[in-house]
Amino acid sequence: MKKRNLIIVIIVLIILVIGITIFMKNKSEDNSILGSSQSMFDSDNLIPIKKDGKWGYMSTEGKMIIEPKYSSATDFYGDYAQVTTEEENDGKFIVINKKGEELYKFKYPYDIEYLPVYNVWILDNKLYDSNLKPLISDDIEVYYLEKGYFEYEDEDKNVVGIMNWQGKSTYEYKFKSDDYINIDAEIDEDNWVNDEVYATIGIEENDVEKKAIINCKTGKVVLDFIEYDILTDDNNIFKVVERDDSDITIIYQIYIEDDQIAYKIDGEDIRFEFYYEDYKVLSIEYENEDKTEYYSLIDKKTYTRDELEDERERYEEIGTKGIKQIENFAYNIFSKDGKYGIISDGKVIIEAKYDEIEFLPYETYVYVQKTLNKQIVLLDKDNEITVYDLNNKEELFKFNAYSVYTYEDSTYIYAEDLKSGEQIVYNLISGKSMNIDNNSHIYCNTNYVMVEDKNGENTTYYNTDLEEIYKE
């Protein structure tokens, strides 16, 4: 039996075609966000409702808590929400608590920002936690970049740098008190290759402009300061360029991994990008020569297109096994004979018999895992989509639909039934579902659903148990 199982595992590894790694991270002192966005999904959060043209808040049982008097209102994130008023006295953009007390008022909308994934507030360029307690000293101003990182200025200590969402400085640049200093940082928001976050740091100091590339998490300088511009591309690819008025000349392009320049290509008129993101294969297209080469970051070799296709199966196998597993475990999607399944640590978890497999968005996946100890995946076979719990090996719900919609800020799943045409809403927390006619408009929010009739005249609100709590 053991020998047979080993053979099955080896066969599965050989036919690997797609390796999509879903990392489930434990909360630690680094930039992990597990559980940080819990307040965003809280089923008991107050629900914004509209009455006679004004906005207020209601409990999930349908009791009015904050009377409608605002021009607009956001969802509650834990104990706080943002509202607006037409009054210009102390500021029309306001942070309130669940009692309706107005805590902060600002004149401009950009003075208030909430980052739901990291569960922090930015108020007048100051960083606060979910309880509105300051994470930084009053001398520091922050400006949000991407992926939980900020550029910051601390004039009291003559420092500019990068800070994470926990208020911890990860990189700092010191300057003399009489120097003119300006920092301009940029982070690539599209990175599907790994979890490493690099930023270009631009420093203007006494009329001299220079740039470097740093690791946002560790603060390590990967490319030291140069007096050229550095442009951020996708997947930790950067272009070093020289500017002359409106003209840009590319000097070289680099790909960075593990705090090193993993690949460098000199010259202009070269299109440089990932060909296989999962398998670490770059494409280098020489536009003037009508030629394209492919470089494997795994075995450090350059291939033609034909050579790469000959090596396709081997590269996909190596690439999948070579994905960096950061935390305790990872799931990988594999294919066999045009169908898809799931493996973990070489063991088949889901047989390859599905037309498509989709994981929940990361934030939603993490919240459901933490709250219910369920690891949810969507399995599509012949347009029957099953909501499946990998942890408990249990089918939770089924849709007959071409596709379903999931959300990074909501625990609802939405689909249209193939046979009846009705719209279906399913909640991952309560396990309840609801069918709605196809003429209505449905809006899935964090912990409530709004159903608007076809004429847009009436809107009905439902909680996570899909119970009606209010009708506008």
pLDDT tens for 122-156 read: 999 999 998 999 999 999 999 999 989 999 999 88
Higher pLDDT, 384 or 298: 384
Query: Which residues face 163 on adjacent strands?
Result: 150, 169
Instruction: Say how far apart CA 60 and CA 469 lie, in whole Å.
Output: 7
pLDDT of the residue at 339? 87
Using the predicted structure, report yes or no on whether residue 43 has a pLDDT greater than 70: yes
pLDDT of the residue at 29? 40
pLDDT of the residue at 312? 64
Report the pLDDT averaged over residues 12-39: 43
pLDDT tens digits for range 301-352:
888 888 877 766 655 554 443 333 323 346 878 778 888 898 887 788 999 9
pTM above 0.85, yes or no: no
How far lies 236's CA from each of 192, 195, 298, 326, in Å? 9, 10, 16, 18
DSSP E strand boundaries for 277-375: 281-286, 291-296, 301-303, 330-336, 339-344, 347-354, 356-359
Report the pLDDT averaged over residues 371-384: 94
Report the pLDDT averaged over residues 20-32: 40
pLDDT of the residue at 63? 96
Phi-psi region at 466: left, alpha or beta (left = phi > 0; alpha = psi -120 to 50):
left
Report the pLDDT averaged over residues 436-449: 94
pLDDT tens digits for range 164-185:
999 999 999 998 877 777 888 9
Share of the chain above pLDDT 90, in %: 56
Of 55-59, 106-110, 133-137, 323-327, give the lowest mean pLDDT range: 323-327
- Give the model's confidence band at 277: pLDDT under 50 very low, under 70 low, under 90 confident, else very high: low
389 touches 374 (CB < 8 A):
yes
Using the predicted structure, report yes or no on whether residue 14 has a pLDDT greater than 60: no
- Give the model's confidence band at 93: pLDDT under 50 very low, under 70 low, under 90 confident, else very high: very high
Report the pLDDT averaged over residues 354-371: 89
pLDDT of the residue at 387? 97
pLDDT tens digits for range 185-242:
998 777 665 678 999 999 988 888 999 999 999 999 999 999 999 999 888 999 999 9
pLDDT of the residue at 194? 62
- Give the model's confidence band at 36: pLDDT under 50 very low, under 70 low, under 90 confident, else very high: low
> For the range 457-460, what are the long-range contacts, defined as Cβ-Cβ under 8 Å and sequence gap of 24 or more?
459/50
pLDDT of the residue at 335? 78
- Give the model's confidence band at 24: pLDDT under 50 very low, under 70 low, under 90 confident, else very high: very low
Instruction: Give first-to-last CA distance, the chain, whole Å.
Output: 63
pLDDT of the residue at 38? 63
Instruction: Say how far apart CA 84 and CA 76 lie, in whole Å.
Output: 14
200 touches 232 (CB < 8 A):
yes
Using the predicted structure, report yes or no on whether residue 33 has a pLDDT greater than 60: no
Instruction: Say how far apart CA 403 and CA 430 lie, in whole Å.
Output: 22
